Structure 1
Amino acid sequence: MVAKVAAPEKDASTEQQAQDKLRSLLPKEVLEVFDKNFKEFAKVQWGDYYYGNKGKKKSWALELVHSANQVIPSFNELFDEETFYVFAFCLVVFCIVLAIFLARCVGVKIKEHDIHAGLKLLAHEDVVVESPTGSGKTLAFLLPALTIMKRKPKWEGNEIGLLVICPSRDLALQIAQVAQPFADALGYSLHATIGGKKIETDLKKIHAGVNILIATPGRLERLIDGDIREGKLKRMLRCIEIFIVDEADKFTEVSFAASMSTIIPCLPKQRRTGLFSATQAKDKLDLAPFTLRTPAHIKLADQKDVISPSSLSAFYSIVKADEKLCALVEFIRNVPDKKILVFFASCQCVQYFNMILPRILSKRKIFAVHGKNKKGRFTQMSAFRKAEGAVMLSTDLMSRGIDIHDLDWVVHFDIPKKSSWFVHRCGRAGRNGREGSSVLIATPGQAAYVNFIKQHEKMEMKEMKLKTVTELKAEQLREKVVGLASKSREILEHGTSAYVSWLKASTTNDASIVCKFKELDIIGHAHAFGLLRLPKCKETYERDVSTFKRSGIDTSTIQYENKSLEEKRKEIRAKNEKRKDIYKEKEANDPRAQLKKKIKEKREGKNKKNKGENKIKKTERDEKENGEEEKKVEIGEKRKMKGDKKEKTKKRKIDSIEVE
C-alpha cells in the first residue's frame, strides 16, 4: 500500500510552520553549514516572498506589511463591537484587491519546496517524492539524512550510514559537492565512487573508512563483486540507516535492473528509503524492486499533473528538414548573451556538430559533452559553468539532475529516446526560481510530437517563429558545410556516422507511433547535415533518394587533417591495391580460377541468350495480342456497319408503307 500525501496549500503560515518544525529537528552544525553555503538558495526556497523571480530578494511589500503591523494598534484599542464588523468587511475587500494587484501587476510569488519530504523521512517513513525539476531535491534528502545520522553518537570508519544512488557520474559528483561541506562539519567521511578508475583504488578508500557513499549502480555492483574475498563492503552496507535513490524513474529500465538486484539484497531491511524524481513510475510494480514499506507518496507541483517548474517557458518551432541546421544557427545568433544547452540524439551527432559549429559560429564558445569523452567531460562542464554566453552540445547524459547556474535556454535539436526525458531536458533551465526557456526545433513530420508532449507529459508549449530562417540561408549554410567536409576527411566520416546514428535513433524512440519514420524527410535531414554522399544502410534502401543533391567531389581524394591518420590511410590503400594485384595474378595463373571464370562466362552468356529469347517471345506475344485485339475491333466495327444498314432498310420500308 502506498500512502498518498498531498502537498498542502500555499499558505504562508502553514509553510512557515513546516519550515520552523524542520529547522528545529535539524542539528546546529547542519543549519550553520546550510546558512553559510546556501544563502542564495535559502532566500528562494524557504518560503520567502521574492520579487518577480528575478531579484531573489525579499519584496518591499513584505517588509511594508511587517512594519505596518508593528505600528498599527490592535482592534480592541480602536473599535467597539458596532464599528468592528463594518471595518473588518472593508479590510477584507481591500486585502483581496491588494493581493490581486501584487500577484498580477507587481509579480510577488511564493516558492514551494520539499520540506514535507524531509519531515516524513525524519518520522521513520519511506517516501516517494515527485517534485518539479530544479526544486531542491538534493537538499531535501541530504538534510534529513544527515539529521538521522547525527542521532547516533559515533560512526565508526567501517560503517556506512547513508547511501545515495544516482544514474550518472556527473550527477554523483554534483551531489558529492553539495554534501561535502555538511560532512566536514559533522566529521563524516564521504566518498563518491564512479566509473573510470580502478576498482582496487576505490576499494582501498572504502576500506579505509567511509560514512557517506555516493555511487552509480554499475560501479557499486562491480565493487561488491570485486570484494567477494574480504566481504568488507557488504558488512559496511549492512549498517546503512537511510538509502536514497535520485532520479528513481530511471532505475526501472532494464539496463539498471541487474545492478539494483545485486545492490538491494546487501542492504538492511530495517532502513529508510527515499525515491526522488521529477517523474515517478505510475505502476505499483515499478516500486517493488526497492522493497519500500508503506511509502508516503509526496507530489509537489504548482498545478495538478504539472511536473515542470512554473518559471520555465516552453516553445516549439516547425521548420523544413533541410533548414533545421540553419534554424539552430540563427537561433544561437539571435541570443548572443544567453547560455544555451543543445540536446542531440547520439554521441556521433555531438561529435560531428562540435566540429562544424565552432567554424560557423566563431564568436561563441562551444563545448561538448557525451558518453564517449568520459575523461574530458568534467573539464568541459566546469569551463561551461564559468563561461558567459556559451553553448553546450550534449546527449541525454545531461538531461537529469545536473545543475547549471544561469542557464537561459534549452534547445531540443532532436527528439529524445523517451518522451519522459523531454521534461528532464527542459528542467535544466528554470531551476530554483530562476527564469528559463526551452525550444523544440521540429520538422513537419514531427509536428504531432508537440501534441503528444502536451497530452502525455502535461507540458504547455507555445509556437515560436524563426523569421530569419530562409531557403537561401539554408542552402548557403549547406554549401559551407559541404566545403568543410571536402577539405577534411574527419568531418566527412563523422558526418556519415552522425547521420546513420540519427536514422537509428528516429526508428527506436517511443514517439515513433506519432512521428512515423516513413513520414520523415530523411533526404532533407541529409542536406541539413551537409553530406557529400548518402550512406548505404537499411533505412535509405527503403526510401526514394533521387532528390539527394550529390556533389561532384571524389571522396577518395579527401585527406585527413591529422597527418598520422593520413599516412595510415595511404598505407592501407596501398596494401589493398597490392592485394588486388596479387589476387589478379593468382587468378591468371591458377587453372581452377580460370575454369571458374569460364563457367561464369558461359552462365552469363546463357543468361543473356535466355533473356534475349524471352524478350523476343514477349514481343511476339505482345504483337499477337495486339493483332488479335485489332481483329476483334475490326469485327465489331463490321457488325456495327451491318446493324446500321439493317436499321436503315427497316426505316425505308416503314416510310414507304406510311406513304401508301
Structure 2
Amino acid sequence: MSSTTLAPSLKWESLNLSDVVFNTIKNHFKFKCMTPIQVESIKNILEKKKDVAAEAVTGSGKTLAFLVPMLELILKRSDPLKKHEVGGLIISPTRELATQTSHVLDEFLINIDNITQMLTLGGNPIETDVKAFNKNGANILVATPGRLEDLLTRKIPNFHLHKSLKSLEMLVLDEADKLLELGFEKSINTVLQYLPTQRRTGLFSATQTKQVAMLVKAGLRNPVMVIVKEKHCLNPKSKQVESVSTPLALQNFYTLCDADKKFAYLVTFLKKHGLNLKYMLFLSTCACVEYFSIILRSLIPEINVFSLHGKMNNKRYKIFDLFCKADRGILLCTDVMARGVDIPEVNWVIQYDPPSNASSFVHRAGRTARVGKNGSSLVMLMPNEDAYVHFIYSNQKVILDLMPQIEVNNLDEVIDKVRKRQLKDRTLFDKANKAFVSYIQAYSKHECHLLLRIKDLEFGKLATGFGLLRLPKMPELKNKVVTDFVPVDIDFNSIKYQNNEREASRQKKLQNYMETGIWPGQIKHKKGLKQTVAWVDAKQKKLERREKRKRKKELKKQMELEGKAKMRKKREQAFSEEELKDLAKDIALMKKLKNKKISKEQFDMEFGGEL
C-alpha cells in the first residue's frame, strides 16, 4: 500500500469538476476551499484512478470527499446509466449516518436530472424497498449493511439487485471501523462477492484498526492511504508539536467529580454556561437516557430536552431532525449518535461517563468543532477514574485539560427534588432503578476494565447520585455492605403510577397479595411459594440456565465422541491381539523347521491348517 503526502487546502476551482457539482458546492455548501482529506481523496480517485483508505479527524469533510468523485465518475461515463443500473454504493453503519449522507446527496441531485438515488435501511419492511427500486430504480444506493445483504441474498421474485450492481463505478464504506466493530464484517464480505472488481473503492473513517487494515488488503486494489492528523503544540516554549486525533478547534476538558455529585454538577454546569447553547450529553445506556431526560426536564424546565437512543426505532428520525433544527437545547443520547452525524452548531459535548471503548471517545467529542468551527467537550470522571486522562492520551492521542473548578452547592436540593419526583410517579421510580442497574452492568463490561474497575465503584454514592429511594436487588450488590447510602424511610407500596390503568392493575395485585400472601405470578409448589424476583436476577438466571444447557450439550457430544473412539479402539485392539497370536504361532513353526525339530511335511501341514 502506498501513502500520500497531504497537499495544502486548494480551491474547488482547481479541480475539473462538472458544472452542476461545482455550483452545488459553491452555492449551497458555500465552501471555497477543500480540506486536506478532500484534496487527496478526490485527486487519487479521479486523476490517479486509485482506491483510497482515508483516516481523518471528525468534522474534516469526509462526506464530500467521497460524494464528489462518485458523482463525477457517474456523470463522465461514456454510456449514461440506465434507470436500474447502480453506479454508486455507499454503506453506512447506522440509520442516522445513512440518512444524513442521503440528504447531502439530495442537494447535488436537485440540479442533476439523469441521476437518482435510493435510501434503504433496516427496520423498514423489505417489500417497500423492493417495490420502490423496481418502480423508480436508483443510480446511487445508500444502505445499511444488514439490509443490503438481505436484498442481495434473499430470493425475491422479479427483483435482481445483483444484476443492477454490475455497472458499479464506486463503492464507499463510511465509518469503516464502526462497520466492523458492530459485527458487520460477514455482511460486508457477502456484499463484496456481488460487486465487480473493476471499480473504485473508498474506506473513510476517523480511526483505523487492524480489522480495517485487513479489509483494505481484501477489498481495495493498489490503494493509497490518506491520513490527516491535527498538530498540537504541547509546549509553546520548546515548540514541541505532536499529532492528535481531534480538531484543533476543539477544546477537550475533564473534571473529577464524586459519584453522588455528578448530576448536580451537570445541572450547575448547564446553568453556568447558559441555557441558550446547544449541548449533547452522552450516557452509557438506553435506560439512563430515558431516566435522566425526565428528571432534567423537571429540574431545568426552561431548557429544551431531547432524548434519543437505539431502541427508539423510527421515532429517532423525528427527534434527530428536531434537534438539528433547534437553536438551543440538550440532546441526551447513547453512542448511536457518536458517529458521522453532522448536527449544526453544537457548542458542548458532555460525556457523563467514559465510553465503552476508547475510539468512541474521539467520535463523541467530534460532534462539535466541525468543519473548522470552534467547540468544547467535557468528560465527567469519578476520582477512581483519574488514570483515564493518561490512558486516552496514550491510546487515542487526545489531550484533556482540567476544567476550571465549578462549585456544587445544590447537591441536597437536587437529590431531594429527584426523589420527590419519583414519589409522585412509580413509573419514574421503576426507571430510576432500571437505569442504575443498566449502568452497573455496562460499567462491568467496559473495554478499559483494568482502569475502570467495578470493585472500585462507590455504590452508595452512585445510588445517591441517581436519586434512588432504595438500593435495588442485583448480583453486584449481593453480600455487599453499603454504608454511604441512606434509603428513604417509606412504604414503597404507597408509590402510585400516574397512569390510572397501570395503577388499577397494581392495586388489584396488591389487594390479592394482602388477602392471600401470594403476589399474582408466584407459583405454588409442594415446598412452598416460588417468589418473584427482580428482572435483573431473572435475566441473570436465564443466562446461567442457557450456559448450563450449552455446557451440558457440549459434554454430551464430547462423551458420545469419546465413547465411539473407545469402542473403535477396543475393536482395533481386539483384532490386533488375535493377529498377534497367529503371527506368534507362525514364527514358532518357522523356528522349529529351522532347528530341524519338525519336518517340512509337518510344517506345511500345520501352517496350511492355519489358513
Instruction: Report the TM range for the smaller structure's normalisation.
Output: 0.7 to 0.9
Q: 2:260 maps to what in 1?
A: 322
Q: 1:500 maps to what in 2?
A: 437
Quick one: which amino acid aligns to residue 141 of structure 1?
F
Q: 2:204 maps to what in 1?
A: 276
Q: 1:145 maps to what in 2?
A: 70
SS across alignment from 1:130: strand
Distance 1:544 1:423 in 2: 37
The structure-2 alpha-carbon separation of the partners of 1:578 and 1:135, relative to structure 1 and needing over 3 Å to count, comes to same
Q: 1:349 maps to what in 2?
A: 288
Q: 2:28 maps to what in 1?
A: 37
- The answer to whether the aligner puts 1:513 opposite 2:420 as a matched pair is no
Distance 2:212 2:318 in 1: 40
Quick one: which amino acid aligns to residue 403 of structure 1?
D
Distance 1:328 1:544 in 2: 29
Deviation, structure 1 residue 541: 1.7
The structure-2 alpha-carbon separation of the partners of 1:438 and 1:254, relative to structure 1 and needing over 3 Å to count, comes to closer
- The answer to whether the aligner puts 1:390 opposite 2:329 as a matched pair is yes
The structure-2 alpha-carbon separation of the partners of 1:400 and 1:28, relative to structure 1 and needing over 3 Å to count, comes to same
Deviations 1:566-604 (A, max 9, x none): 123233445566775699xx99xxxx96xx79xxxxxxx
Higher helix share: 1
- Equivalent position to 1:183, from 81, 86, 109: 109
Deviation, structure 1 residue 548: 1.9
Distance 2:480 2:55 in 1: 43
Q: 1:340 maps to what in 2?
A: 279
Quick one: which amino acid aligns to residue 189 of structure 2?
S
Q: 2:574 maps to what in 1?
A: none
Deviation, structure 1 residue 476: 2.1
Distance 1:477 1:437 in 2: 26
Q: Which moved more, 1:436-445 or 1:572-581?
A: 572-581
Distance 1:572 1:220 in 2: 48
Q: 1:54 maps to what in 2?
A: none
Contact 2:119 2:143 in 1 (8 A): yes
Q: 1:400 maps to what in 2?
A: 339
Deviation, structure 1 residue 469: 1.1
Q: How does 1:220-239 map onto structure 2 within 5 Å?
A: 220-239=148-167
The structure-2 alpha-carbon separation of the partners of 1:429 and 1:573, relative to structure 1 and needing over 3 Å to count, comes to same
- Equivalent position to 2:371, from 432, 454, 457: 432
The structure-2 alpha-carbon separation of the partners of 1:581 and 1:270, relative to structure 1 and needing over 3 Å to count, comes to closer
Deviation, structure 1 residue 286: 3.1
Contact 1:486 1:558 in 2 (8 A): yes
Q: 1:558 maps to what in 2?
A: 495
Structure 2: runs of 5+ lacking an equivalent = 232-241, 529-611
Deviation, structure 1 residue 240: 1.3
Deviation, structure 1 residue 539: 1.4
Q: 1:115 maps to what in 2?
A: 39
Distance 1:335 1:389 in 2: 12
SS across alignment from 1:114: helix
Deviation, structure 1 residue 427: 0.4
Distance 2:263 2:187 in 1: 39
Deviations 1:326-369 (A, max 9, x none): 11111111121211100000100000011100000011111111
Q: 1:461 maps to what in 2?
A: 400
Deviation, structure 1 residue 413: 0.3
SS across alignment from 2:254: strand
**Structural RMSD (CA):** 2.2
SS across alignment from 1:340: strand
Q: 2:129 maps to what in 1?
A: 202
The structure-2 alpha-carbon separation of the partners of 1:506 and 1:561, relative to structure 1 and needing over 3 Å to count, comes to same
Deviations 1:65-93 (A, max 9, x none): xxxxxxxxxxxxxxxxxxxxxxxxxxxxx
SS across alignment from 1:133: coil
Deviations 1:369-389 (A, max 9, x none): 111112222221222222223
TM-score, L = length of structure 2 = 0.80
SS across alignment from 2:193: helix
Q: 2:475 maps to what in 1?
A: 538
Distance 1:284 1:424 in 2: 17
Deviation, structure 1 residue 254: 5.6
Q: How does 1:5-404 map onto structure 2 within 5 Å?
A: 5-8=4-7, 10=8, 15-16=9-10, 19-21=12-14, 23-24=15-16, 26-39=17-30, 42-43=31-32, 45-46=33-34, 112-122=36-46, 123-152=48-77, 153-186=79-112, 187-208=114-135, 209-253=137-181, 255-282=183-210, 286-287=214-215, 291-303=219-231, 305-336=243-274, 337-404=276-343
Contact 1:199 1:226 in 2 (8 A): no
Contact 1:327 1:466 in 2 (8 A): no
Distance 1:222 1:573 in 2: 48
- Equivalent position to 1:476, from 413, 417, 420: 413
Quick one: which amino acid aligns to residue 406 of structure 1?
E
Deviation, structure 1 residue 167: 0.7
Structure 1: runs of 5+ lacking an equivalent = 47-110, 598-660
- The answer to whether the aligner puts 1:485 opposite 2:422 as a matched pair is yes
The structure-2 alpha-carbon separation of the partners of 1:33 and 1:513, relative to structure 1 and needing over 3 Å to count, comes to same
Distance 2:499 2:186 in 1: 42
Q: 1:604 maps to what in 2?
A: none
State the identity as a percent: 34
Quick one: which amino acid aligns to residue 67 of structure 2?
L
Deviation, structure 1 residue 418: 0.7
The structure-2 alpha-carbon separation of the partners of 1:485 and 1:248, relative to structure 1 and needing over 3 Å to count, comes to same
Q: 2:605 maps to what in 1?
A: none
Distance 2:511 2:189 in 1: 53
Contact 1:322 1:524 in 2 (8 A): yes
Q: Which moved more, 1:396-405 or 1:538-547?
A: 538-547
Distance 1:284 1:547 in 2: 46
Equivalent pairs counted in the alignment come to: 511
Deviation, structure 1 residue 513: 1.1
Distance 2:518 2:244 in 1: 68
Deviation, structure 1 residue 195: 2.5
Deviations 1:24-71 (A, max 9, x none): 1x11121122222111xx14x43xxxxxxxxxxxxxxxxxxxxxxxxx
TM-score, L = length of structure 1 = 0.74
SS across alignment from 1:543: coil
Quick one: which amino acid aligns to residue 257 of structure 1?
E
Distance 1:271 1:376 in 2: 37
Distance 1:415 1:227 in 2: 44
Distance 1:143 1:384 in 2: 27
SS across alignment from 2:244: coil
Deviations 1:414-433 (A, max 9, x none): 21111100000000000011
Q: How does 1:442-457 map onto structure 2 within 5 Å?
A: 442-457=381-396
The structure-2 alpha-carbon separation of the partners of 1:277 and 1:577, relative to structure 1 and needing over 3 Å to count, comes to same
SS across alignment from 1:514: coil
SS across alignment from 2:311: coil
